[in-house]
Amino acid sequence: MSREGNRLRIVKSVVIHVALVLFTMAVIYPILQVISISLRPGDRLYSTSLALIPDGATLHAYYAIFFEKPFLLWLRNSLLVSITVTIIGVALASTSGYAFARFRFPGHGAGMLGFLVSQMFPATMLLLPLFILLSKIGMIDAIPGLVIAYVATALPFCVWTMKGYYESIPVELEEAAMVDGTTRAGAFWKITLPLSAPALMITALFSFMTAWSEFMVARVIIQSQNLYTLPLGLESLAGTFQTEWANYSAGAVVVCIPVVALFLILNRYLVSGLTLGGVKG
Amino acid sequence: MRSFWKRHSQPYLFLAPAVAVMLFIVLYPFLYNVYIAFSNMSLYHLRDLEFVGLKHFRTILSEPAIWAVFGKTILWTVVNVVSHLVLGVGLAVLLNQQIKGRAIFRALLILPWAMPQYITALTWRGMFNYEYGSINLGLKAIGLSPIPWLASEIGAFAAPVIANIWLGFPFMMIIALGGLQSIPKELYEAADLDGAGWWFRLRKITLPLLKPVLLPAAILGTIWTFNNLNVIWLITNQGEPADKTHILVTYVYKAAFHYYRYGYAAAFSLVIFVILLSFVLAFLRAGKERTR
């Protein structure tokens, strides 16, 4: 390589790094902004300063949401809903995805298509009839009603992910076990399922996130304040006439920490768990 | 019948729980939605339903305001999905090179995806605030005049678009990164030997080989963006100013749960579904034909 070419390569590398750093800074600015506002003292909520660490930074807003606002109640409701949805979602998607991946049976194509098409339903198309049906059986303003709506939203994507991943696992592994006398269900449970850990993680993460971050359905189904989930609670902080920006931001930071942590921990599974599902479609 | 069951009992048993749930919480509501769409159901007619035929569909087609909403929905979807793809693929290509601190960049750039959408939306609403929002403060700091983002029709549409581009590109980036890792290095080496430039390599190697991964992602992205309620609803505060910033789904949501026009909203939901379905089918067909 000539000296000229070498110099060109270094310049190119520097340009790429600078561009990446600038772009990344722009991307994480809104996140830093939330953290910054959560640290503002009460008398500087309406500040026109652009500094990221505010003057007189304080943790008071965090104290306020835990001890003066019903944040713990919202957290409890959200955890209840999200964990239930995750368990149901993983259980249903891991079994039905297996059927789609390993068997050919009448209704195979129609079933897969059905799951895909239901992803295209605009939210109101399920929400409105569910709302009317739930109110007829008295499940409006109740946590199970919310769980039902979320499972319907999360399940199709999870089934497709699981199916795609199972197809990447050699069927010979199961056949070997079945020669040794294991049943099909046993082979699924002992061999295929453990090997599918990345896809199971994605499925769990996706189900959990659906329930943990959903707002538009919750605000229709839940009305009593003591059943508020975190999204409803935080919106009530940000949405009232007198916006409590510091409290809202502190709540947002606390809500984001577990999902961001999960995302970063599962980061390495994201590529393998998602793309395989995508390619095999 | 018995032999049929014997042959297929296993898959059906594996499927049974999920299918039972889907029948009950997806198919049944869907059919009920069709039923409502042809009835006069509203808050005042919950029990004494009458069959009204195509009345709601005719109302939808005859409202002039609908076409503006429809146009905005298309604009919203196209601008977002194209931006997600361009940013996502571009960043993935950059990150796939020898970059110092690659893992850190990747972890930081994934954060917008990890944040719950409603928090993203509420946070950006604060940032678009005329007086105290950091975007206008930033504009002022570099000597430009502040923009009344949320008060004008165009600004209140641009604001959610910006926020949605921000939250959506990491998904495409991760998908593209996965796809890039499966492209054999030899192809690039061969292109280098032939003295091919980066544009040639992008157009002739990277993009064609990424296509099978990106196509399903782009379709999913289109569906998600087209049906995205959160971002517009929360940033424009339910369609302000004066219900001028709606896309189809937020428009129907408001008709259903704020104006209690159940029959009308159910019919409208069906229309939206058919529009989206035909888009996706056309998209799939175009994708298939070009692969051949």
Segments of chain A scoring below 50 in pLDDT: 276-281
Considering only alpha carbons, which residue of chain B is nearest residue A24?
B109
Residue B142 reports pLDDT greater than 80: yes
Asked if residue B239 belongs to a domain, the reply is yes
* Nearby residues of B91 by Cβ (< 8 Å), 6 or more positions away: A20, A23, B109, B169, B173, B176
Residue B292 reports pLDDT greater than 70: no
Give the count of beta carbons closer than 10 Å to the beta carbon of residue A185.
13
pLDDT digits (tens, 9 = 90+) for B60-87: 888 888 899 999 999 999 999 999 999 9
Question: Can you tell me the distance from the alpha carbon of B225 to that of B229, in angstroms, rounded to the nearest whole number?
Answer: 9
Domain that holds residue B196: 53-291
| Among A residues 63-122, those touching chain B with beta carbons less than 8 Å apart | 88, 91-93, 95-96, 98-100, 102-103, 105-106, 108, 111, 114-115, 117-122
B274: CATH: 1.10.3720.10
When mean pLDDT is compared across A46-50, B41-45, B76-80, B117-121, the lowest value belongs to A46-50
Extract the tokens encoding A95: 């079994």
What totals of helices (H) and strands (E) does chain A contain, helices first?
A: 14, 0
Asked if residue B60 belongs to a domain, the reply is yes
The phi, psi pair for B45, rounded to 5°, reads -125, 75
pLDDT of residue A107: 87
* Nearby residues of B201 by Cβ (< 8 Å), 6 or more positions away: B188, B191
Asked if residue B31 belongs to a domain, the reply is no
pLDDT of residue B137: 87
Asked if residue B27 belongs to a domain, the reply is no
B232, HSE (Cβ side, Cα atoms, 13 Å): 31
pLDDT of residue A278: 43
Q: What's CA A168's distance to the chain center, in Å?
A: 24
Counting the structural domains of chain B, the total is 1
pLDDT digits (tens, 9 = 90+) for A38-76: 888 865 666 666 677 777 788 888 988 888 889 999 999
| Among B residues 95-134, those touching chain A with beta carbons less than 8 Å apart | 95, 97-100, 105-120, 122-127, 131-132, 134
When mean pLDDT is compared across A3-12, A207-216, B33-42, B159-168, the lowest value belongs to A3-12
Partner-chain contact B116 A271, CB within 8 Å:
no
H/E element holding B284? Answer: helix B262-291
Residue B270 reports pLDDT greater than 90: yes
Question: Can you tell me the distance from the alpha carbon of B246 to that of A122, in angstroms, rounded to the nearest whole number?
Answer: 14
Asked if residue B240 belongs to a domain, the reply is yes
Give the count of beta carbons closer than 10 Å to the beta carbon of residue A62.
19
Give the count of beta carbons closer than 10 Å to the beta carbon of residue B97.
10
Exposure string over A132-143, b if 16+ CB within 10 A, otherwise e? bbbeeeebbebb
Would the pTM count as exceeding 0.95?
no
| Among A residues 133-162, those touching chain B with beta carbons less than 8 Å apart | 133, 148-149, 151-152, 155, 159
B119 vs A contacts (CB less than 8 Å): 34, 213, 234, 252, 255-256
Query: Span A68-280: which CATH code?
Result: 1.10.3720.10
A256 vs B contacts (CB less than 8 Å): 114-116, 119
Give the mean model confidence (pLDDT) for residues B200-227.
87
The answer to whether B237 touches B125, Cβ cutoff 8 Å, is yes
Give the mean model confidence (pLDDT) for residues B168-190.
87
**What is the value of ipTM here, to two decimals?**
0.84
pLDDT digits (tens, 9 = 90+) for A214-242: 999 999 999 888 999 999 999 888 865 66
pLDDT of residue A273: 59
The answer to whether B131 touches B244, Cβ cutoff 8 Å, is no
pLDDT of residue B143: 87
Task: Sketch the domain layout of chain A as residue ranges.
Answer: 3-58, 68-280
- Tell me the torsion sign for CA atoms A244, A250, A255, A256: positive
**In chain A, what is the straight-line distance between the N-terminal and C-terminal CA atoms, in Å?**
43
Asked if residue B77 belongs to a domain, the reply is yes
What band does B33 get if pLDDT is binned at 50, 70 and 90? very high
Extract the tokens encoding A277: 């599902």
Burial (Cβ within 10 Å: 0-12, 13-18, ≥19) of residue A239? middle
pLDDT of residue A45: 60
Burial (Cβ within 10 Å: 0-12, 13-18, ≥19) of residue A47? middle
* Nearby residues of B197 by Cβ (< 8 Å), 6 or more positions away: none
| Among A residues 8-27, those touching chain B with beta carbons less than 8 Å apart | 13, 16-17, 19-20, 23-24, 27
- Closest by Cα among B202, B173, B82 to A27: B173
Average pLDDT, chain B: 87
What band does B208 get if pLDDT is binned at 50, 70 and 90? confident
